[in-house]
């Protein structure tokens, strides 16, 4: 039985439906990320779990018990927001002690627990400092320690890394996952950052227009997206409209690019069915001439975007825009405006039916 259960959660604001029958099961100790564009419903779902928003319909259960009618402070849930909301007049250890104080824990015992939690998040010896004396990353750790010190049933993280620079974000991604694993706390993490979701999650839940598009492990989300929206939203994609020409022979046809052999499809297909073919840019090989044993297509290069260790080559094959990811050193073989050959194997083509 799942530890956190959302059942048919609906949230309406007048005539606007923010959430439409959202159901989700989360196992105890699981790290689940809600991912989606702005307005997709991910934060609204988090706020309903926390009790700051009330669902128009549906129930929230933790450990088999409904918490839908409980006030936020009665739910035993730890929450970290993007703005850390630390008390500026309290020291770090006093900030962490505060939720224990509200639960009647003695000051001596509570401060000891708070110091222990600061050590766990890498801030041993920083307890005497006030928030203004801490960096953004250190303040974020204090907020995390405060959310964990009272042993919550759930940990909710609402884009907590949004205010940090790139290097610190990456460092904190590793730290949050380490702490979560060491404590085994069931965690819901909200972000619009794909790399955070991919690197931190046991499972990713992709939201769009108040519905769950797909919930799966990160690599399944990336390599086996169930809808065109998920395929386009997660990473760089080549999405090619096609018609199944032979379901038995696993071939599809695009008017501009011709016939495709494919290997991946999660649903039964039929001849004449309209589908979308997904090929990730890193699965395409760029060369001057055709490569034997691969599906080859001529492409005119329009743009080359260099990232240092790799480059994204964007071009047109017929009327279709194609994206190819190459190692930075390999991009010297082609220039913008030139024609090249791109090729791939059937196992790199995944068929999407939605």
First to last CA, the chain: 30
pLDDT of residue 47: 94
Tokens 């000891």 — which residue? 112
pLDDT of residue 49: 95
Global confidence as pTM: 0.86
pLDDT of residue 331: 66
User: What are the distances in angstroms from CA 231 to CA 222, 226, 235?
Assistant: 7, 8, 8
In tens digits, what is the pLDDT along the chain, a chain of 354 residues? 689 999 999 999 999 999 999 999 999 999 999 999 888 999 999 999 999 999 999 999 999 999 999 999 899 999 988 777 889 999 999 999 999 998 999 999 999 999 999 998 888 999 999 999 998 888 888 998 999 989 899 999 998 777 677 777 888 888 888 889 988 999 999 988 888 899 899 999 999 999 999 999 999 999 899 999 999 999 889 998 999 888 888 888 888 888 888 876 666 788 888 999 999 999 999 888 888 888 888 999 999 888 878 888 999 988 889 999 988 666 667 788 888 898 888 888 899 988
Tokens 């094959």 — which residue? 317
Distance from the Cα of residue 89 to its chain's centroid: 35
pLDDT of residue 56: 94
pLDDT of residue 257: 83
pLDDT of residue 165: 74
Structure tokens at 148: 């964990």
Residue 13 near residue 76, CB atoms below 8 Å = no
Q: In this structure, what is the dihedral angle of CA atoms 173, 178, 181, 182, given to the nearest 10 degrees?
A: -150
Least Cα distance to 136 among 100, 110, 117, 161 occurs for 161
Domain 4-228, architecture per CATH: 3-Layer(aba) Sandwich (3.40)
pLDDT of residue 1: 63
CATH 2.40.50.140 is the classification of domain 236-352: yes
**Per-domain residue ranges of the chain:** 4-228, 236-352
Least Cα distance to 161 among 190, 183, 132 occurs for 190
pLDDT of residue 98: 93
């Amino acid at each position: 039985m799942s530890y956190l259960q959302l059942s048919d959660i609906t949230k309406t604001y007048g005539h606007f439906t923010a959430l439409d029958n959202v159901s989700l099961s989360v196992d105890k100790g699981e790290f689940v990320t809600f991912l989606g564009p702005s307005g997709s419903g991910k934060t609204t779902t988090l706020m309903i779990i926390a009790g700051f928003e009330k669902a128009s319909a549906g129930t929230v259960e933790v450990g088999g018990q409904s918490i839908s009618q409980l006030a936020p402070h009665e739910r035993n849930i730890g929450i970290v927001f993007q703005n850390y909301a630390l008390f500026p007049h309290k020291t770090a250890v006093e900030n962490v002690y505060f939720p224990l104080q509200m639960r009647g824990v003695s000051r001596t015992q509570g401060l000891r627990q708070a110091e222990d939690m600061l050590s766990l998040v890498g801030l041993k010896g920083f307890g005497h400092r006030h928030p203004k004396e801490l960096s953004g990353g250190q303040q974020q750790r204090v907020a995390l320690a405060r959310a964990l010190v009272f042993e919550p049933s759930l940990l909710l993280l609402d884009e907590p890394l949004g205010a940090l620079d790139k290097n610190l974000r990456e460092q904190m991604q590793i730290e949050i996952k380490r702490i979560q694993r060491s404590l085994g706390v069931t965690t819901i993490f909200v972000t619009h950052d794909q790399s955070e979701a991919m690197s931190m999650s046991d499972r990713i839940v992709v939201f769009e227009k108040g519905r769950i598009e797909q919930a799966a492990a990160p690599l399944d989300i990336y390599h086996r997206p169930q809808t065109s929206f998920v395929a386009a939203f997660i990473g760089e994609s080549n999405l090619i409209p096609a018609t199944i020409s032979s379901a038995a022979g696993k071939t599809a046809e695009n008017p501009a690019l011709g016939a495709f052999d494919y290997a991946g499809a999660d649903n039964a297909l039929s001849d004449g069915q309209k589908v979308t073919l997904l090929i990730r840019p890193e699965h395409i090989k760029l060369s001057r001439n055709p490569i034997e044993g691969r599906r080859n297509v001529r492409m005119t290069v329009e743009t080359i975007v260099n990232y240092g260790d790799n480059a994204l080559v964007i071009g047109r094959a017929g009327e279709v825009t194609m994206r190819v990811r190459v190692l930075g050193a390999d991009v010297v073989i082609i220039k913008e405006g030139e024609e090249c050959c791109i090729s791939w194997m059937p196992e790199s083509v995944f068929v999407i039916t939605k």
